[in-house]
Chain A
Amino acid sequence: MSAGDVETPRWRRLLINRFVLVPAAIAVAIVFWNVYVSMHSHGVVVGRVVDPAGQPVPGATVVLWVLNFTTYVEKTRATTDSAGRFVITDNDSHNIRLAAEKPGTGRSARVPVRLYFRAQDIELREPLMLSGTS
């Protein structure tokens, strides 16, 4: 035993060691993660729909599919506003797909969106792009 060990207070030896610090760090990370999740899990999915020229498409229908065990089933629909923007507020899944369609303008590909937790609030970086005619 070194001289430094003798001088170390008992409470410090009990608390400042890897068997306490590592579990404590993990516990703190879990608490922060759960707080973050609770603050960002309202099921809001926001995005835009554009035409092949990149112009916003108002009145397009956006369909949300959620993974149900092994297949994707339709969960809800939303309509874009004058700026081509849509807001879905009741997503409760972590594994979704989105597609947009407007008669006469076209439809988009079904875009898979993976979330870090269920009902995560998300704003799509890339807009849903309509192509072709329907």
Chain B
Amino acid sequence: MHRYPRWPIHLALVGVSFLMLIPFYWVLKTSVTGENIFAYPPSILPKSPHPFYYVDVWYYIPFARYFANSVAVSMIAVIANVVLNAMAGYALTRDFPAKAFVLLLFLSCMMVPFQATIIPAYLITGRLGLLDSYLGLALPQCSTIVCIFVFKASFDAVPRSLIDAARIDGLAEWRIVWKVMLPLAKGAIATNVILGFIWSWNNFLWPLIVTRSADMQTLPLGLARFLSYQEDTTGALYAFCIMVLAPGILLFLLAQNEFIRGLTSGATKG
């Protein structure tokens, strides 16, 4: 039994949620009507909605190709994120010399913007012969410090005795990670999957620099290309935005419970 009624809080949250959803609704509405977004007074409900702007987008640019490229790059980034970040996160839960310094280094690196490291990243990718390839497109997203700390927080919440028991049973360190830690860190995995996917899916600058051929372009580049040669694109542009956003939103809705659990794991420790 709560001391105070909770409905005012829920009412306020519902109101704020509606406010947050208004831009999404507006994009969706414009994508099926093509209305001028500067029209006044604005129409709240769509007038004569139709799906033909989506059809236009599908045929104006090689959408299926861009979509497949984005999926391939995001899959590589997501898998690499889970594998590499789990290993790094587990390493950071162990005691080793200069651990505090390494943690400080990680945290300080978070403050360096990607734009500052893009030239060395490009040169390294070029030396590896990965320019204009899926792996090269995914490379900078293969491990992110935020996601490493998500795994670290999740692994920190696992009782030490469990790891000791696994070690006594003869498990090697990497098997402890895969057999003991990861099954207990589903929230962290979901967080890594969603963040890795969204960051990779929405990435514009790196694919712009790394891709050489039109066949390797991803959806954000396709959007830029679409804008560059289409006039009067209001409806089609918004339809394109919906088509680009839809997979990320779907993934978040599917895994939102695990995602929130992963972000908050470790927060209530102790």
Q: A residues near B, CB below 8 A?
A: 18-19, 22, 70, 94-95, 114-118
- Is B250's CB under 8 angstroms from A117's CB? no
Q: How far is the CA of A94 from the CA of B59 in the complex (A)?
A: 9
Interface size grouping (class) on chain B? 10 to 19
Query: What are 7 A-B pairs with beta-carbon distances under 8 A?
Result: A22-B250, A70-B230, A94-B55, A95-B52, A95-B56, A116-B51, A118-B59
Give the chain A neighbours of B255 by CB distance below 8 A. 19
Interface of B is mostly: helix
Q: B residues near A, CB below 8 A?
A: 50-52, 55-56, 59, 230-231, 250, 254-255
A18-B59 contact given A70-B231, A114-B50, A116-B51, CB 8 Å threshold: no
Q: How far is the CA of A85 from the CA of B250 in the complex (A)?
A: 47
- Is A114's CB under 8 angstroms from B52's CB? yes
Q: Nearest chain B CB to A43's CB is how many angstroms away?
A: 15
- Is A18's CB under 8 angstroms from B231's CB? no
B50, B59, B255 interface centre (most CB from chain A within 10 Å)? B59
- Is A18's CB under 8 angstroms from B56's CB? no
**Smallest CB gap from A18: residue in B:** B254
Q: Nearest chain A CB to B246's CB is how many angstroms away?
A: 10
Give the chain B neighbours of A95 by CB distance below 8 A. 52, 55-56
Q: How far is the CA of A117 from the CA of B52 in the complex (A)?
A: 9
Q: How far is the CA of A99 from the CA of B4 in the complex (A)?
A: 69
